[in-house]
C-alpha cells in the first residue's frame, strides 16, 4: 500500500499543506521542518503520484532558472545541448526553463540573477559562476527558502548547493601535469593560461597542475588570466612569449584557444612549443590537426548539462536527493589521431 501525504504529515506533526510544499520543492517552510519531513518521507519510502503531479505542473509548470557565463563563450554550447536533451525528455512533465547570462567577471551579477529568479518564482536553479562569498551567500539563502541549487561545470565551494555536476577538476590538472612530464624528460619552462582564477574550476586545475609538477624539473614561469576574451588572451600571451623566449610549453587550463594559437603562430613558435589544453572547441580541433596542440583533455560538457537538469528535476519533482555531492563526468585525453 502506498504511503500518503496524510501519513507523513501525521508523523511529522505538521499540516498536509506543509508536506505538500516540501515534497514539491516550494518555499515557505523552515529548514528544520523541511529536513524532518524529507527524512520521514525517505523512511516510509514515499513514492509521488507522478502522473497526477505532471498533470498539475502542466497547468502551472515548474520554473527552473539557469545562470551561466556569456552566451558568446562557445564552450557552453555543448552544455546547453545537454540541458536541451534533458528538457526534451521531460516534455509533458511540466517544466519551464529561464536562462540568465551574466558577466563572468562581476560577482554581483550571479547573486542578482539568483535574486531575480527567486522573485520570478523559480523552484530550482542551475548555477555556474564565480566562486566567492557573494554568490555563496545567495545560494545559501535560496536553499534556506526551499529553492535547491545545483552547480555545474564550476562549483561554489562550502555553499549549501545540493551537488556539483562536472569534471573532477583536480584530476584534470594532474593529467595535464602528467602529460607535460612525459613530453619533457628534463628541465623545461611552461606558461599557464587560465580564464579567471575566481572560478573554482579554473583555480582547481591550476592548483593541481602546480602540485603535481613539484617533484619534476618543469618550471612554471607565470600564470596569466585571459577572461575568456580573445583580445586579452592574445595580448597577454604575446607579451609573455617575448618575455620568455626560451619557453618550452603552454598549459591552457581554460580560456580562448583561438587567441593562444594565433599568438603562437605570430611568434613563429608553431610546432616548437608543446601545448596541452582542455575541451574540443573548433579552434582546438584545428590546432590538433595542424600539429600545434599536442593533447586536449575532455570533460563531456553535454553530460554536464543533461545530468544537472535531470538531478534538479528529480529533486524538485520527486524529492529525490543526489546520490553523491560530487557528480563527476568522464575525463579523457584526445590527440590528433583521435579525430
Residue 52 has pLDDT above 70, yes or no: no
165-178 average pLDDT score: 97
Confidence grade of residue 177 (pLDDT, cut at 50, 70, 90): very high
Distance CA 162, CA 192 (A): 32
Residue 27 has pLDDT above 70, yes or no: no
- The Cα diameter of the chain in Å comes to 75
What nine digits make up the cell of 273? 612549443
For 166, phi then psi, to 5°, come to 170, -165
93-98 average pLDDT score: 84
Confidence grade of residue 48 (pLDDT, cut at 50, 70, 90): low
Residue 261 has pLDDT above 60, yes or no: yes
pTM reported for the whole predicted model: 0.80
Listing from the earlier edge strand, what are the strands of the sheet with 149-152? 95-101, 62-68, 124-127, 149-152, 163-166, 326-328
Residue 240 has a pLDDT of: 97
Residue 242 has a pLDDT of: 96
200-228 pLDDT, tens digit per residue, is 999 999 999 999 999 899 999 999 999 98
Distance CA 70, CA 50 (A): 35
Distance CA 284, CA 293 (A): 7
Residue 49 has pLDDT above 70, yes or no: no
Distance CA 155, CA 170 (A): 12
pLDDT averaged over every residue in the chain = 90
Amino acid at each position: 500500500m502506498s504511503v500518503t501525504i496524510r501519513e507523513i504529515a501525521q508523523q511529522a506533526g505538521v499540516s498536509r499543506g506543509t508536506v505538500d510544499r516540501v515534497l514539491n520543492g516550494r518555499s515557505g517552510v523552515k529548514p528544520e521542518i523541511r529536513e524532518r519531513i524529507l527524512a520521514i518521507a525517505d523512511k516510509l519510502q514515499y513514492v509521488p503520484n507522478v502522473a497526477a503531479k505532471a498533470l498539475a505542473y502542466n497547468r502551472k509548470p515548474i520554473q527552473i532558472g539557469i545562470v551561466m557565463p556569456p552566451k558568446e563563450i562557445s564552450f557552453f554550447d555543448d552544455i546547453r545541448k545537454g540541458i536541451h536533451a534533458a528538457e526534451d525528455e521531460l516534455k509533458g512533465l511540466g517544466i519551464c526553463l529561464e536562462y540568465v547570462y551574466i558577466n563572468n567577471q562581476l560577482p554581483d551579477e550571479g547573486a542578482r540573477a539568483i535574486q531575480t529568479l527567486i522573485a520570478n518564482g523559480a523552484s530550482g536553479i542551475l548555477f555556474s559562476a564565480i566562486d566567492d562569498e557573494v554568490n555563496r551567500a545567495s545560494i545559501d539563502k535560496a536553499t534556506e527558502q526551499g529553492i535547491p541549487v545545483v552547480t555545474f561545470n564550476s562549483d561554489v565551494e562550502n555553499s549549501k548547493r545540493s551537488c556539483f555536476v562536472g569534471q573532477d577538476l583536480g584530476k584534470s590538472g594532474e593529467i595535464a601535469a602528467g602529460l607535460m612530464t612525459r613530453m619533457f624528460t628534463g628541465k623545461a619552462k611552461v606558461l599557464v593560461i587560465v580564464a579567471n582564477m575566481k572560478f573554482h574550476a579554473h583555480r582547481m586545475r591550476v592548483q593541481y597542475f602546480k602540485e603535481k609538477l613539484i617533484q619534476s624539473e618543469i618550471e612554471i614561469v607565470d600564470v596569466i588570466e585571459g577572461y575568456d576574451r580573445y583580445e586579452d588572451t592574445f595580448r597577454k600571451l604575446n607579451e609573455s612569449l617575448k618575455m620568455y623566449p626560451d619557453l618550452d610549453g603552454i598549459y591552457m587550463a581554460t580560456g580562448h584557444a583561438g587567441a593562444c594559437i594565433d599568438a603562437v603562430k605570430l611568434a613563429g613558435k608553431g610546432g616548437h612549443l608543446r601545448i596541452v589544453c582542455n575541451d574540443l572547441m573548433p579552434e582546438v580541433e584545428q590546432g590538433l590537426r595542424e600539429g600545434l596542440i599536442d593533447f586536449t583533455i575532455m570533460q563531456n560538457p553535454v553530460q554536464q548539462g543533461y545530468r544537472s537538469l535531470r538531478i534538479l528535476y528529480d529533486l524538485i519533482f520527486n524529492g529525490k536527493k543526489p546520490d553523491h555531492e560530487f557528480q563527476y563526468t568522464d575525463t579523457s585525453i584526445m590527440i590528433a589521431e583521435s579525430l
